[in-house]
Structure 1
Amino acid sequence: MISIVCTCNNKTVLDNYLLKGLKNQREPYELIVVKDSKTDFKSAAQALNYGGEKARGEYIIFAHQDVLMENPDWLADLNKLLPELKNLGAAGIAGKSEKNPEVITNVKHGDQPHRAGEEIDKPVKVQTLDECLMVVPNKVFQKRKFDESTCEGWHLYGVDYCLMIDEMGLDVYVLPLPIIHKSSGDPFADEYYRTLGKLFKKYKKNYGTIHTTVSNWNTSYPVTLEKRRFWLTNKIYSGAKNRIKSLFK
């Protein structure tokens, strides 16, 4: 059996996405909803650790409330894939590797879903995963919880977990399973960069670059410079994209 842990601060979103997909699943599962208004728990790491401790399944899915599993065999397909993954530490449905410049994912984002990365048809090893949906073997979770000291907010806790898993000698995979994800998050939030700075301090000795679905972050540079580089890159990209669109109007 698989356990599913989700934090919820909007019941309507939970009903229209995660629960809507789960209700049609043919595979049995355990659902643990951790109600949170961002005052009940200090961080995502704390809330997910609380939910994960209650999980009884062999594997634990840590999912956002706004992910939709359209395929009624989604959990069944997951159950087939997981035992085949050797040395599994964590798996997800979007991630970034050191070798591939593209985000690896079969996820579609937004109210009008669109592809958000390079589609795959088999599991692919990556450095880190996006937090929207992660799967961790329960036996691994019992050895290593989310780091509540490093990740004191609601960003990058999955990235941090994947790097901890890698340091344990375990592997991280992106799975070829499609979902719809309503929100892509806010990489411009100040909290994101505060946590990123902690990750730089924690991992710079072992990782020159932290590859995430938002960007590749050089740990030898100050976070303020990396933030500015990311902001300028996105500004230039958005400007070029808008100019191209205007040509076809």
Structure 2
Amino acid sequence: MENPMRPSKVISEKAEYPFQFSICTLVTDHQEYSEMKGSCIEAGFGEDDCEYLIIDNSTGNAIDAYKGLNLFLQQAQGRYIIICHQDIIMHDDRRPVLEDKINEINQKDPKWGVLGNAGGVNLKYQVVNLTRGNGEKLTEKHAPIQVMSVDENFMLLKKSANLALSRDLSGFHMYGADICTIADVLGFTCYVIPFNIIHKSDGNINKTFYDGKKEFIKKYKRAFRSRFLSTTVTRLYLNSSTWKTYILNKPFFIFLFKQYYKLIKVKKPYSIKYKQAEK
């Protein structure tokens, strides 16, 4: 008996989200996390339309930040995903303030992907909107302001941006810079907004931080390298230099480099079978 095909599902750009916010945290201290979650609920992030997701690292760092945050981004069902430290407290500003700032950015720059309360504008200027654990309140008068990176204590990502962190980085540092760099590559912008919360810790700059920074630089040295690119129908050269891009995309130079690969860089070493045989 013939088995009729099921009708294909029609999809559209309009997405449905079971929750308005997903609030995601790597937890090493459940008591501190409970205080954080209670302050969020008190600030208006109720469990009727918000989900709370955790990764339990209380008995050891079973999952690092890069892998853990990617799990959050994959499994969160909120329209907006908040990734925050367990040592923040919602205090001065509540949910309506955050929603107002999101709506403002949506209207002025709908291509945004990441919002935060602190970050780096350029090599000279950093912007901060939070209250430190000692009670010092820091305010940025120019916010919302576009930034190159956001601080990891509080990051808000738009689910529809489909962002992810690098697979080839690990640890617990530089992931705010990583997600913003990836957002930029994908065509999204990042902002620091005036949303004040308490962050009890001022961070910990130690050897693991500097090791993470070194690996971050190494990764993006490779990722942003100049390269020739081949497709099934054309060949081209990618580079940030205007003159190199212009000259090396000329057919004559493409032909010369094509001969180099033909004569010197043969196809066999690219095969995964060849790589396995080398081991």
Specify the alignment match of 1:114 in structure 2.
136
Shift of 1:40: 5.3
Partner secondary structure for residue 91 of structure 1: strand
Tell me if the contact between 1:25 and 1:75 (Cα under 8 Å) persists in the aligned partners: no
Which amino acid is the alignment partner of residue 167 of structure 1? Answer: V
Specify the alignment match of 1:45 in structure 2.
66
In the alignment, structure 1 segments of 5+ residues that lack a partner are 208-249
Structure 1 residues 138 and 39, CA gap change in structure 2 (3 angstroms): same
Specify the alignment match of 1:145 in structure 2.
164
Shift of 1:39: 3.5
Q: Quick one: which of 210, 234, 237 aligns to 1:193?
A: 210
Q: Quick one: which of 131, 156, 175 aligns to 2:152?
A: 131
Q: Give 1 or 2 for the bigger CA radius of gyration.
A: 2
Shift of 1:87: 1.1
Q: Which has the higher contact order (CA 8 A, sep 6+)?
A: 1
Structure 1 residues 104 and 44, CA gap change in structure 2 (3 angstroms): same
Q: Does 1:180 align with 2:198?
A: yes
Distance 2:189 2:102 in 1: 18
In the alignment, structure 2 segments of 5+ residues that lack a partner are 1-19, 226-279
Q: Supply the RMSD in Å over aligned alpha carbons.
A: 2.3
Q: TM-score by structure 1 length?
A: 0.72
Q: Does 1:96 align with 2:120?
A: yes
Number of equivalences: 199
Greater Cα offset, 198-207 or 1-10: 198-207
Q: TM-score by structure 2 length?
A: 0.65
Shift of 1:148: 3.6
Which amino acid is the alignment partner of residue 52 of structure 2? Answer: L
Distance 1:83 1:47 in 2: 27
Which amino acid is the alignment partner of residue 215 of structure 2? Answer: K
Tell me if the contact between 2:165 and 2:182 (Cα under 8 Å) persists in the aligned partners: no
Tell me if the contact between 1:105 and 1:120 (Cα under 8 Å) persists in the aligned partners: no
Specify the alignment match of 1:105 in structure 2.
128
Q: Does 1:162 align with 2:162?
A: no
Tell me if the contact between 1:104 and 1:120 (Cα under 8 Å) persists in the aligned partners: no
Q: Quick one: which of 193, 202, 222 aligns to 2:219?
A: 202
Tell me if the contact between 2:82 and 2:156 (Cα under 8 Å) persists in the aligned partners: yes
Distance 1:131 1:38 in 2: 22
